[in-house]
Structure 1
Amino acid sequence: MKKFFLSLCVAAAMLMTACNQAPAEAPAAKANNIETILKNLHDPKSKQVLVVCHRGDWRNYPENSIPAIESVIKMGADMVEIDIQLTKDSVLVLSHDRTINRCTTGKGNINEMTYEEIQQYYLKTAHNVRSSLDLKMPTLEEALAVCKDRITVNLDKGYDYYDLVIEITEKLGVTDQVLIKGSKPVAEVQAKMAEHKNNLLYMPVITPTNEKHKALFDDYIAEKPQLAYEICFDEMNAEVESAVKRVLDSGSKLWVNTLWNSLCGGWSDDVAFETSAAEVYGKVVDMGTTIIQTDRPEMLIEYLRSRGLHD
């Protein structure tokens, strides 16, 4: 009985001490991840390398699906690249292809099918089998709602449906998170953007060895600094080196795709996987690249973190 009474007294004393202590201060709130991403995206001097995930995490989930987007957000990626097509009843859906044949259990041209008709079918994985998650093709609005305040978006074919896209991004409040790109003339892009109060981010795509692109590149360089330039090259040569220097000297960021060899002079994701990530990605980064679109985001992020180039 005495032992019980003593234990009770000790417990009471500990409780009173805890109650009398000032509550611990809550840790300072961190800025939203999207704020950090946008800050680095708009800062040409930032050494952080932004990772863009091509069609989301398509190795583990169906490409252009909501789980594929959620997965790369959890990885710590900075941007997800998604593709859009327009249905017969004017709904923007996520699909790289013009048909549903490859990525769903159905068949047909997207522009000849209504959204409801497409929803009868299920998304397939990269192994050409129906996903066990029973996923349907998402709309652009659904995808952007998932991305809001979490990750930026590169919208492939976004320029083709600019007015429809802007309507959705303004509704969701994500216009400043969405990037489109292309090789359109400066005047055409300016005219399109003049039609809207707010606009998507735009990035020129340049192949330095392409004769038409050389004139286009000159026109963009003559304008105010662009957010970034995507430079495509099948081999590193003097023309590519000159283009890279012009991009960096102009105060813009450099974007390189490591998706396949012909886009990055042979320094692709698969080569990095099969040989040395440090050697291959090291060459891409050391040329001044601060935005990389990849099909192997986990491997790339791990390498960048080893060099202190990614959070």
Structure 2
Amino acid sequence: MLLIAHRGGTDRYPELTLEASQCSLELGADYVELDIRFTKDNVPVIAHDSDALRLFGNSSKISDLTEEQFKSLKYLLNDSCHPHTLEEVLKSGVAPILFHIKEGGSALTRILEYIRAHGYEDKVIMGVVTVGDVRLVKAFNHEIKVLAFIPSKEAIMEFIEQGADIIRLWEPWVDEPSVSLVQQAGKQVWIMAAYGGIIGNTSAEKIVQWKHMGIDGVLADLVAENKALL
């Protein structure tokens, strides 16, 4: 079972930083997950939340900040760390990455062009939320793997039929019929840990249970702890 460092991992550094991502890979993560949004001047940046309040203490929306303003933010948990642009991540060499695309459609094409320009097409999985974005990625390069952040279990086959390679299930959605449906179609199941409603968190018992079920991957915060279980 693959271990994907949710939001880059949180073992030692703030989420979504290059420091966290590199640390997670060194600890044994198979992928790091990083979210992408756009700034006011249409620059793709690494950001999960729609605003900068939780991580940086700034109530501005990411889409209202310029690239320069976004890069000047400092993490509340560690003011020596700053947020990154997509280009900064691609230039760093950190890989492999699951990119969670928060803003798709025509914006997704721009992200894919960045990935191609930096030679990352074989180092990424594109995580998308609509069937249209699955088609868009596959039309750009059929070899790029696509993970579907499906809106409900009922959407599993719709995303598979459009070319998704991996289906993300929320922890509460996991059951034998859903897992079998995906795997019998020749696709992978990755689980988003969410024990007690806390995204990225789960129990040791669940990790072991999923491994025995044949689950293909799990997205979780703590890499060292979960890697030891696996």
Relative to structure 1, the CA distance from residue 221 to residue 175 in structure 2 (aligned partners, 3 Å threshold; closer, same or farther) is: closer
Deviations 1:71-126 (A, max 9, x none): 1111121111111221111111111112122212544122112111223331222x
Quick one: which of 198, 207, 228 aligns to 1:281? 207
Identity of aligned residues (%): 21
Question: Matches of residues 1-311 of structure 1 in structure 2 within 5 Å?
Answer: 49-125=1-77, 131-132=78-79, 134-146=80-92, 148=93, 151-157=95-101, 160=104, 161-185=107-131, 188-189=132-133, 191-193=135-137, 196-197=140-141, 200-206=144-150, 210=152, 213-214=153-154, 216-222=155-161, 226-234=164-172, 240-261=175-196, 269-270=201-202, 272=203, 277=204, 279-304=205-230
Deviations 1:17-55 (A, max 9, x none): xxxxxxxxxxxxxxxxxxxxxxxxxxxxxxxx2110011
Shift of 1:249: 1.8
What is the aligned residue count? Answer: 228
Deviations 1:164-215 (A, max 9, x none): 2111111110022222234423xx24642465256642123446xx4xx42x
**Does the CA contact (< 8 Å) of 1:234 and 1:262 recur in 2?**
no
Provide the rounded CA distance (Å) in 1 between the counterparts of 2:71 and 2:159. Answer: 42
Provide the rounded CA distance (Å) in 2 between the counterparts of 1:99 and 1:90. Answer: 15
SS in structure 2 at match of 1:163: helix
**Does the CA contact (< 8 Å) of 1:230 and 1:255 recur in 2?**
yes
TM-score by length of 1: 0.65
**Does the CA contact (< 8 Å) of 1:159 and 1:180 recur in 2?**
no
Deviations 1:235-292 (A, max 9, x none): 65xxx3212112222222221122334599xxx844x2xxxx2x33211111111211
SS in structure 1 at match of 2:113: helix
Provide the rounded CA distance (Å) in 2 between the counterparts of 1:220 and 1:198. Answer: 15
Provide the rounded CA distance (Å) in 2 between the counterparts of 1:114 and 1:290. Answer: 39
Shift of 1:293: 0.7
Segments of 5+ residues of structure 1 without an aligned counterpart are 1-48, 126-130, 305-311
Mark the structure with the bigger radius of gyration: 1
Provide the rounded CA distance (Å) in 1 between the counterparts of 2:146 and 2:165. Answer: 7
Provide the rounded CA distance (Å) in 1 between the counterparts of 2:111 and 2:68. Answer: 20
Relative to structure 1, the CA distance from residue 59 to residue 200 in structure 2 (aligned partners, 3 Å threshold; closer, same or farther) is: same
Segments of 5+ residues of structure 2 without an aligned counterpart are none
Q: Which residue of 2 aligns with 1:14?
A: none
More RCO (CA 8 Å, sep 6+): 2
TM-score by length of 2: 0.85
**Does the CA contact (< 8 Å) of 2:150 and 2:159 recur in 1?**
no
**Does the CA contact (< 8 Å) of 1:157 and 1:180 recur in 2?**
yes
